[in-house]
Structure 1
Amino acid sequence: MGEFDHEATITHTTEVLQRLGVSTQAGNLANAAAVGITQLVWRNGPIEDAHAGARGRRNQLHDGVMFARNTWVYHQALEAVTSNKPYALLELEDRLLDRHLVWPGTSRTLKQFGYGVLGELDKHTKRMINGLMGFQRRFTDEEFCTLAALNGLLGAEDHFGMPAWEPRVHAAMTRLRGQDAAFTERLKTRYDLDFTQWLDKAPPVVHTDLPEAERALLSAPYELGADELDWFAWNPVLTRDHL
């Protein structure tokens, strides 16, 4: 978050976002900003380092937990971005760093999942929030959201909260219903997986209430639960081109 030509950055970022279907006219710039804030403040920090290493295994910080947490953080970030409160970002900071709040979709807390990196998490989150507040004071709401969204353009263009997420979920539902022959063939040739056997390992909600699974994935994935999301995480069913 150093010095840069903010006018050129805002212009370029606006053009990129528009190609992704994001604009103030589309009414989803705040959503993209929430994705960017999630990436900056939470996802791409000490918690990801912990998740990727031995500490993550010890703390049971598996892919499903990360999926649930990241999508919950997105909702908190969106609330902060759209709030009229002058210190909404500080309220976001407090929520993210609450060591006793049970993470939605799980039965554990930051104190448990983040054991060993709690101090680093505090420093990282506070530093990123402080930087965002500086931008918020300096720029208009639209400019701030554009700059915040910039943080989500590398690797998060089709994450939850972005326009491309909805078609990903709809495609997944078609595949889970056995209506995508190309995907079924790809499972066999690329992953050596039989479709029926692969589907048998899906969480119960896929078998008993697929519309509910679709609803949750579109609106609040953490409501499915971290263990259920662990099956979806890095699963080819949610990829755009089933690669």
Structure 2
Amino acid sequence: MKKPVIGVLGNLLLIENDIFAGAERSYVNNDYIKAVHIAGGVPVIIPPLLDDEIIEKQISMLNGIIISGGYDVNPLRYGDEPREKLGFIHPLVDDFTIKAIKIAVNFNKPILGICKGAQILNVAYGGSLYQDLSYMPGCYIKHSQNAKAHIATHLIEVDKESKLFEIIGDNTYVNSFHHQVIKDIADEFRVAARAKDGAVEAIEMKDKEFVVAVQWHPEMMAATNETMKKLFKRLIKEASKNL
């Protein structure tokens, strides 16, 4: 039985401490790879490049896309100046990711965004971010947990009219590893879930079959959590329509 190929958009990592110090590596965290595999897909890593023709070729070969987490989004991308609590940014990776997103959406590829993947998906279409959760009015939940990655630490409230509700059901508990969060929602999207302090936890593209993004890290939970595995199963199901 033919399986869909799922491309995980990659990051660039600067090597500092070994014989290759100063070099950059294209990478994704292995939990993304394992989550796609256990859900029934064929995972591949898509390295960051700035050649539009090559990016289009990369995306055209895929049946579905995961926009992975990573560094902070460059605030200049959403018309803001860098603030004191902004973390490390990599503008080249942002440029690649936004190009890949636009091409994938135009090709009607199913997309699952995760953590920064949700943030940059929103920014790609004109939305904005809080550069740190301390800048978000009313934020009181600890969104960067100390517990192990597979452990859920706070509740999300899921919109019952959303695709996310179709996939994972009612309110559930998730893990949390972020210090930025969506501020203004791009017109093309709707909020699918929030934390109890109002932080946006999931968004969906209004006029596409499956462009869904979550702020937490389901790939870190999927091996032991059936609810989180359902997100990847749904991505595989949607991607299978492109075989």
Tell me whether the two structures share a fold, i.e. TM-score over 0.5.
Answer: no
Give me the TM-score of the superposition, normalised by structure 1: 0.29
Higher helix proportion: 1
- Higher relative CO (CA 8 A, sep ≥ 6), structure 1 or 2? 1
Give me the TM-score of the superposition, normalised by structure 2: 0.29
* Pair member with larger Rg: 1
Higher strand proportion: 2
